[in-house]
Every structure is written in C-alpha cells, then in structure tokens.
Structure 1
C-alpha cells in the first residue's frame, strides 16, 4: 500500500498496473509494486532524516524523473512533496544533468513501453531545509 499521499502518484501507479499485465512481474503489475516500494522508501527516508537532522539543517538529494512502461514519473517533484510533508522546506531544485529524451530510451532495447509525447529525462539536486 502506498504511504505518501501525493497528488497524481497513486493514479500513475494505478495506470502503470494496467500495462502489459500478461507479463506479470515483468509488466506493469511488477513495476507498480516496484514504484510503490520506491515511494514508500522515499517516505521512510524523509521521516528518518527529519529525526536525525537539526532544525535548520540542509540536505541535498539528487534524484531524476523516470519512465516506467511508457508513463512518466516526476520522481524529483514527488520526492520534494514527500519531504515537505515530513517537515522539510524545499529551498530549491537544481537541474544537474540532462539525459536522453524518454522516447529514444523507451523505443530502444533499454526500456519497453510506448511514450506518446517526448519526455526529457533529467536529474535534479533537491535542496531541503529541516523546519
């Protein structure tokens, strides 16, 4: 069960679960379980980091967006929202690396899926301050 309550996250995971169902754990259902576990881990990380950090302390987490079974996941944005729910303030989000466009990756041997629009993959340094 997905712990973080972030707008659009559950809907993206539910949609992911419907993709390539015939492939079982290697299709959408397996990737949906992976995404749920990943975001639950992000939630746990933020909860523990808040307990370990002093008020006013800064953390920088480098994280990128992703495409799973042709669905874009704005992981960096959702991570910042999870952190905000756990007592952090998002100071700034710095794009640190631009990767290939999602369509070139999805339509290659690297990933399987269909992306209807061009998606730019990137990594962001999410700068957080503990409130």
Structure 2
C-alpha cells in the first residue's frame, strides 16, 4: 500500500511540475499524421518554423526517403508547430539533412491541414498538397 501511495504521489507531482508547453501539447494533441509522398530519387527534409532540421527527429521520421510515403506522427507535428499552430511553415529541402536550397514552402494548420504550397524550384519539382488535407506529394515535373 505504501508503494502505491509513493507511486501515485510521484506521478501527481510530476504532472503538476510538467512544463506548461508539455501540458498544452497533451491537451491539444489532435493533429493528424502528416503524410509526405516522395516520388523522386532524392530524400527530403524540412525545417519547421525556423527550428531544427527534421532529420534530427527520432527513428528517422523526419526524413522522407526517395520513392516512399512517410507518415510523420501527429504528436511530432504538434510539437514542431507549437509556436504557430494555424500557420505552421515548413521549408522543404531535397536532401537528407536540410542542406542546399529551399525547394518549397508548405504552410499548414495543425487542425485543418495544408493551406498553401509555394514551390521555389519550379524547373525540377512539382509539389502538390490539397487544401485542408494532411497529404503532400513531391514529383519531378
């Protein structure tokens, strides 16, 4: 009984002491998975809201490998977009480490999905993302 009381007290204290942002993420973690369909022969990564490169995410979820479909979990998207949930901006790179030129900017709302896709290298790639979905696609032109 004493052990149960200690465990309960510890869990309660941890919950109270958790940073406000962690509690906010837990309360609002309703974002769908972000799906990136990469139909090119190059890996792609992104920098979201001027943060770190997506390649730094655990288990490789931040790299959309060539010729694959990548599902980025909603809870990861929630954390990455914490600073701006309604206009979360992803600068897309066609490398596995966010180097080289930005080839597109994808703007999305964590509740509604993609709002805009702005390609910057229109000679080589075609970016699509239907408004209010969580699916983005990269193809060659």
> Normalised by the shorter chain, which TM-score bucket?
under 0.3
Between Structure 1 and Structure 2, the one with more helix by share is 1
Choose 1 or 2 for highest CA Rg. Answer: 2
Q: Which has the higher contact order (CA 8 A, sep 6+)?
A: 1
Q: Give the structure-2-normalised TM-score.
A: 0.25
